[in-house]
Amino acid sequence: MVFKVHQHFGFLLLLVIVFINGECKNSSCDVFHGSWVIDQSYPLYNASVCPFVGKEFDCVKNKRPDQQYLQYRWQPHACSLSRFNGRYLLEKLRGKTIMFVGDSLSKNHWLSLLCMIHSSVPSAHFVVKAYGASGMTAYTFTDYEAKVIYHHSLYLVDIVKEKIGRVMKLDSITNGKLWLGVDYLVFNTWHWWSRRGPTQPFDFIQDGEKIYKDMDRLAAFGKAIDTWGRWVDDNIDPLKSKVFFQGISPTHYNGSNWGEPKAQACIGQKVPVPGSTYPGTPSAALTVLKKELKTIKKPVTLLDITNLSLLRKDGHPSKYGLGKYLSGRDCSHWCLAGVPDTWNILLYNFMFS
Ligand SMILES: *[C@@H]1O[C@H](CO)[C@@H](O)[C@H](O)[C@H]1NC(C)=O
Ligand SMILES: *[C@@H]1O[C@H](CO)[C@@H](O)[C@H](O)[C@H]1NC(C)=O
Ligand SMILES: *[C@@H]1O[C@H](CO)[C@@H](O)[C@H](O)[C@H]1NC(C)=O
Ligand SMILES: *[C@@H]1O[C@H](CO)[C@@H](O)[C@H](O)[C@H]1NC(C)=O
């Protein structure tokens, strides 16, 4: 009899596990379609005790007065995401490397992951190493020999100093040598493509043999993604490396896009756009990105975070990002804890599936 009870118990347990697995591995579920719900168990970490969080993202420390924005969890409509487990992640990353490659949105994403790991396993030892000229910073969790790296690369493609000036080469990616053999690669570029004026870090754009003073930036972006896609096809061994593209992280500078034309960018926004649909126009960069990704033969997973992040007009540092970026109105990066934690939960859900 006792045996029977145990058997039943085992059967029930199995059912529960299968159900949980069924939920997280629901391949027919679009995890990018959903809404933001309040969850009292959020935020996933206290940024004040995270040794990794950048000053520019630590909105609580920078005296942002409202706190509700910390408590939103992304809930897909058709299924549930696995909860993040930093210890499990470190075990899976034992002897391995994950690298974020891109602009400061990649840094935002990377620091979020480090804080999430630290909050799960506060005792995990780590060492940091910065590789000066290459623009890489690596944290190694030494008990696991797990490396979590950021490679700062604004455009993914090269910028080369030549006699005429700094030339952006739309068909060259020499930095790709730093990405070879990395187990998990998460790429992103977009925010710098529209940059002009004194902070634009190049003087000319080279496309094939032709050198231009300037060209349509969306078209240039498309060409660079095409070059990157060819790099993936030529260099990635899918048995060794899993490749992700972070998607286009949206900004909130124009309140007309969410029905508040008088809003001063994202300043004072305390709640997300309700529901699942952002009223503004879809991102042209995302359309170009998706078109280019379709031409890549090797597997690349798009973390399609644009729509879910668009809803989070409340998620940016605005005045609480130390004013380092965009003259004190940073509606482009994200507070930590915050929206990039969700990008990492999505990444985590895709990494081992
Ligand atoms: C994002 O929103 C646009 C416009 O509402 C829609 O066409 C698109 O299907 C959405 N994408 C996802 C992944 O939900
Ligand atoms: C975060 O940590 C700081 C420093 O230990 C502490 O003062 C603060 O109360 C914590 N915040 C929350 C929300 O737990
Ligand atoms: C899986 O996704 C489908 C379609 O989105 C949905 O109908 C179904 O209920 C989901 N199953 C689970 C276990 O979440
Ligand atoms: C904001 O968007 C609206 C609608 O697209 C547009 O008419 C307006 O010019 C934009 N405002 C700014 C400051 O760009």
Q: Mean per-residue pLDDT for 58-66?
A: 94
Closest atom of ligand 1 to CA, residue 308: 14
Distance from C-alpha of 199 to C-alpha of 214, rounded to nearest angstrom = 15
Which candidate, 110, 253, 93, 223, places its Cα nearest to that of 156?
A: 223
| CB-ligand 4 contact for 254 (6 Å cutoff) | yes
- Residue 280's pLDDT is 87
Please answer whether residues 319 and 328 qualify as being in contact, where contact means their C-beta atoms are separated by less than 8 angstroms.
yes
Q: What is the pLDDT of residue 352?
A: 87
pLDDT digits (tens, 9 = 90+) for 238-297: 999 999 999 999 999 999 999 999 999 999 999 999 999 999 888 999 999 999 999 999
Which pTM was predicted?
A: 0.90
Question: Distance from the CA of 30 to the center of ligand 3, in angstroms?
Answer: 9
pLDDT at residue 8 tops 60: no
What are the DSSP calls for 85-109, one per residue?
-HHHHHHHTTT-EEEEEESHHHHHH
Q: Please compute Rg for the chain using Cα positions.
A: 21
Q: For the CA atoms of 256, 257, 258, 260, what is the dihedral angle to 10 degrees?
A: -10
What pLDDT does residue 323 have?
A: 60
Q: Is 70 exceeded by the pLDDT of residue 217?
A: yes
Mean pLDDT of 135-150: 97
Percent of the chain at pLDDT above 70? 90
Pick the residue whose CA is nearest to atom 11 on ligand 1. 307
Distance, CA 320 to ligand 2 centroid (Å)? 18
Query: Confidence class of residue 136 from pLDDT cuts 50, 70 and 90?
Result: very high
Please tell me if the CB atom of residue 46 comes closer than 6 angstroms to any atom of ligand 2.
yes
Residue type at 69?
Y
Question: In the predicted model, what is the mean pLDDT of residues 58-71?
Answer: 95
- Top-confidence residue, 15 or 251: 251
CA torsion 346-347-349-353 (nearest 10°) is 140
Q: Which of 15-29, 81-95, 338-352 bottoms out in mean pLDDT, i.e. has the lowest?
A: 15-29
pLDDT at 133: 82
SS3 10: helix
Q: CA-to-CA distance for 26 and 13, rounded, in angstroms?
A: 20
Stretch 23-45: mean pLDDT, rounded? Answer: 85
> What are 76's strand-pairing partners?
34
